Amino acid sequence: MIPERPLLEVNGLKKHFPIRGGMMGQVTAKVYAVDGVTFDVRRGETLSIVGESGCGKSTVGKAILRLYDVTEGEVYLDGERIDNMSAARLRPMRKRMQVVFQDPFSSLNPRMRVRDILAEPLMNFGMAHGSAEVTRQVEALMDKVRLPRDAIGRFPHEFSGGQRQRIGIARALAPGADLIICDEAVSALDVSVKAQIINLLADLQDELGLALLFISHDLATVEHLTHRVAVMYLGKIVELADRRTLFSASHHPYTKALLSAVPVPDPTAKRQRIILKGDVPSPINPPRGCRFHTRCPFVFDRCRTEEPLLRPIGSAAHMSACHLDKVPVGEVVPQAA
Ligand code: SF4
C-alpha cells in the first residue's frame, strides 16, 4: 500500500548551466537542461523518468541529490526543504537519499575490498561502530543483495557486472536510505542480468518500503518495475501517468513515438512504429511554443507560438503537455497474415 504523503516533492525545478566566453568570461548563453519539472514520489513507490539522451533526466537526479545547485524551484524530502539547505543541515538528510549509477565499476574504488566499500558509508553516517559491528552489518547488506558473505574480502574486478551493481545497491542501502535514485542503473547489463537486478530492487522495495526514482532512456526497461512514469523531452515533463495508463493509453505524440519502439511480447501483434524526423534540438536554444514541435507529426500553428502546459487528460493522475485533446496514433495493430 503506497501512502498518500510523498517522501520526495519536486516543484518547478530548473537547472540552467551558464556558458561563459569572451575576454571577461561573461555568461554568453545558457544550457536549459531542466526547465521547470514538478513531480513527487511516495514511500514504496517507483517513479521512472524516461527520455532520450540529453533530455535532462540525469540532471534532475543530480539536482535532487544536491550534486548540482538548483537554479530555481524547490525540493522537499519528507517535508523538509533541501534544495537550499546548508551543508551541515544537509548531512543527516544525505543518508536518506542515495544513488546507484550506471557503471558500478567506475563508481567502486578498485583498490578497496567490498568490506571496506560497504564499511565506509556505515561508519561515515554513524550506522555502525567497531570492527565486529561493521562486519556484522556488511554481511547483512551482502545478504540483502544476495551476494555470498565470504565475498567481502574480494576486490570489485573479481565480480561480474551484475554482482558489481549489487554491491552498488548494498552501498546505497548502507546508510539506511529511504529514497534511492537509480541513474541508468541497469542500462549496461545484459537482458537476463537486468531482469535479476530489477527483481532485486522490487524485492528490496517491498521489504524496506523504499521510494525509487528510476532514470532510464528505455521505456521497455521500466515497464515491469515502475508504478508511474514521467516522460521528459528537452528539459520538461511532457507526460506523467501510472504505468498501465502510459503503456495502454498514452496521449503525448512523443510518448507514443517512444512506445512504438518497445518490443511487443505477443508475436502475432506489432506496434505501428513512429519514426521521428530530425534530431533533438539544442537545450541552449530550445524551440518556442511546444519544444517538440520541430519533430511532431501533428504540429499546427498554435504549437509554434504557445507552450502547452502539463494538464490532466481524462483523470487528474494522467497529465500531458499537448494542445491536442486526442492524438490518433500508437495503437497495437494486428500483423498481416
Ligand atoms: Fe505536437 Fe503540437 Fe502537441 Fe506539441 S502541442 S506535441 S507540436 S501537437
**Nearest Cα residue to atom 6 of ligand 1:** 322
| pLDDT tens figures, 40-93 | 999 999 999 999 999 999 999 999 999 999 999 999 999 999 999 999 999 999
CA 303 – ligand 1 centroid, Å: 6
| Local confidence band at 224 (pLDDT 50, 70, 90 cut-offs) | confident
CA 223 – ligand 1 centroid, Å: 25
Q: Could you identify the atom of ligand 1 that is nearest to the CA of residue 299?
A: 7
Stretch 197-204: mean pLDDT: 96
Q: Which residues does a 6 A CB cutoff place in the pocket of ligand 1?
A: 252-253, 290, 292-293, 296, 298-299, 303, 308, 322-324
Q: Could you identify the atom of ligand 1 that is nearest to the CA of residue 290?
A: 4
| pLDDT tens figures, 145-180 | 999 999 999 999 999 999 999 999 999 999 999 999
**Nearest Cα residue to atom 7 of ligand 1:** 293
CA distance 18 to 27: 6
| Local confidence band at 273 (pLDDT 50, 70, 90 cut-offs) | confident
CA 299 – ligand 1 centroid, Å: 5
| Local confidence band at 102 (pLDDT 50, 70, 90 cut-offs) | confident
| pLDDT tens figures, 302-313 | 999 999 999 999
CA 307 – ligand 1 centroid, Å: 9
CA distance 216 to 236: 15
Q: Among 17-26, 212-221, 298-307, whose mean pLDDT is lowest?
A: 17-26
CA 287 – ligand 1 centroid, Å: 12
